Structure 1
Amino acid sequence: MNLKGKTVLVTGGASGIGLEAVKQFLSIGANVIITGRNQVKLDAAKNKYPAITAIQSDAGNKADAQSLFNKVKELGGIDILYNNAAVLVPPSNLGVANEKHIEGAGYEMEVNYLGVLRLNNLFLDMLKSRNEAAIINTTSILSQAPSLIEATYSSSKTALAFYTISLREHLRIIGSKVKVFELIPPLVATEMTADRNDKKISTEEMVKGLIKGLSKNQYTIRVGDAKIFNLVNRILPKIAFNIINPKKNHHLLKN
């Protein structure tokens, strides 16, 4: 897929992987629109990259999604919808048998899964009208082997992974040219993972891997350790499970 000249909407584009994507997409000649909840971060991103358009919007809010679509349509539309926004409720709030567990799970599912479906549904006809268009859904290696301390986050990403496969096949059956990519990252060094001491890759490496996969029309894009983890999980699933759930984290399950 050729990104030059394409207009890309990046959700959660004001920080982390999303902001790095802005930098790299612009460098190869794409036009970029970003959205996020935090206006201060959006303003900072706009100051850093004046060529972008920044629109405040909550990925888990139905009214915001419709408003975002209307604004993007007024701007002339997009060629690529990059569903990058996600939330992770801290493990300390997710003891299995309490109300915070339910609230946290609902919040993660609303943003990480239902929010993606909502935007895809809104933008699909627009994308179908383009000569070359794509949807990028960001899942996780945790959709392959769940994290015990991030169980509901893992579940939201698993739901998204299955939906992504189904959406791709559905569009193929009806003859649509819209490409559906699944981006499967390993642990990436962002604000969300700042308290983790595990091995991480940089946002720069993450986005380089994404762009390389897009350029090759590689519909399932695994970056960094996500590649070897996929192989381990297929051959030795118990070892893969233990990689995600080392004994050093077991104390967190006793809260």
Structure 2
Amino acid sequence: MELKGKTILITGGTAGIGLEAAKQFLDNGAKVIITGRDQEKLNAAKKSLPQLTAIKSDVANADDAQLLYSKVKELGGIDILYNNAGIMSGPLNLGTSNPKHYEAATNEMNINYLGVIRLNNIFIEMLKSRKEGAIINTSSLLSYVPLNLAPTYSASKAAVRFYTVSLRNHLELQRSNVKVFELLPPVVATTMTEGVGQKAISPQELVSALIAGIKNNRYTIRVGLSKLLYIVSRLSPKLAYKLVNPKANNKQL
């Protein structure tokens, strides 16, 4: 897929993977719109990358999503929707009666999974109208094996993975020109993954792999440890579980 001249919308684009993606897509000749919930972070991103268009928006808020669509349409629309926004709650002891379990799970599912469906539904006709459109959904290596420290995050990413496969197949049956990419990162060195206790790759390395995959029309983009875990999880689920959940991590529960 050609990136030069395309317009891409990146949710959660103010830091970490999202901001690095904005930088590298700009370097590849794309126009980039980012969203985020924090205006100060949006301003900082715009200052570091003046070519950006920054719009305050929360993917978990239906009104925000509709307003975002209207603003994007006024700007001329997009060719690529990159669903990057995501959150991970801190470790919670699931073996106790704690209302925070449900609150945290609801928030994670709303942003990590339902927010993806919401934006895809809103933007799909716009993407179909383009000569070459695309959706990028970020799942995770944890969509194969759950992390004890992040059970709902793992579940939300498994949901994204199955949804992405189904969406791709539906669009192919419709002979749509919208391509559906799935990015499966390993642990990436961002503020969200602090304390996970796994070796992390840099956002730069992850995004470079993403862009290479898009250019080669590789719809499932496994990066780093995700490649190994995919194979191990199919051959030996117990070993895969141990790799993701070493005994040291269990002490944090």
Match of 1:98 in 2: 98
Distance 2:3 2:216 in 1: 11
Match of 2:180 in 1: 180
Distance 1:157 1:96 in 2: 24
Distance 1:135 1:20 in 2: 18
The code of the aligned residue for 1:35 comes to T
Distance 1:163 1:77 in 2: 24
Match of 1:136 in 2: 136
Q: 1:99 to 1:211 in 2, by over 3 A?
A: same
**4+ runs deviating over 4 angstroms:** 93-96
Distance 1:88 1:243 in 2: 20
Match of 1:52 in 2: 52
The answer to whether structure 1 residue 28 and structure 2 residue 28 are counterparts is yes
Q: 1:125 to 1:229 in 2, by over 3 A?
A: same
Match of 1:114 in 2: 114
Q: Which runs of 5+ in 1 are unaligned?
A: none
Determine if contact 2:197/2:249 at 8 Å carries over to the other structure.
no
Q: Per-residue deviation at 1:85?
A: 0.3
Q: Counterparts in 2 of 1:244-255, with a 5 A limit?
A: 244-253=244-253
Determine if contact 1:94/1:104 at 8 Å carries over to the other structure.
no
SS in 1 for 2:126: helix
Q: Which runs of 5+ in 2 are unaligned?
A: none
Distance 1:225 1:155 in 2: 19
Distance 1:169 1:246 in 2: 36
The answer to whether structure 1 residue 210 and structure 2 residue 204 are counterparts is no
Q: Per-residue deviation at 1:197?
A: 3.5
Determine if contact 1:4/1:30 at 8 Å carries over to the other structure.
yes
Q: Counterparts in 2 of 1:33-44, with a 5 A limit?
A: 33-44=33-44
The share of aligned pairs that are identical, in percent, is 59
The answer to whether structure 1 residue 227 and structure 2 residue 227 are counterparts is yes
Q: Per-residue deviation at 1:194?
A: 2.3
Q: Per-residue deviation at 1:96?
A: 5.3
Q: 1:73 to 1:22 in 2, by over 3 A?
A: same
Match of 2:19 in 1: 19
Q: 1:78 to 1:95 in 2, by over 3 A?
A: farther
Distance 2:37 2:50 in 1: 19
CA deviation digits over 1:100-130, x for unaligned, max 9? 0001000000000000000000000000000
Q: Counterparts in 2 of 1:138-217, with a 5 A limit?
A: 138-217=138-217
Q: Per-residue deviation at 1:231?
A: 1.2
* RMSD, matched Cα: 1.1
Distance 1:220 1:88 in 2: 23
Match of 2:240 in 1: 240
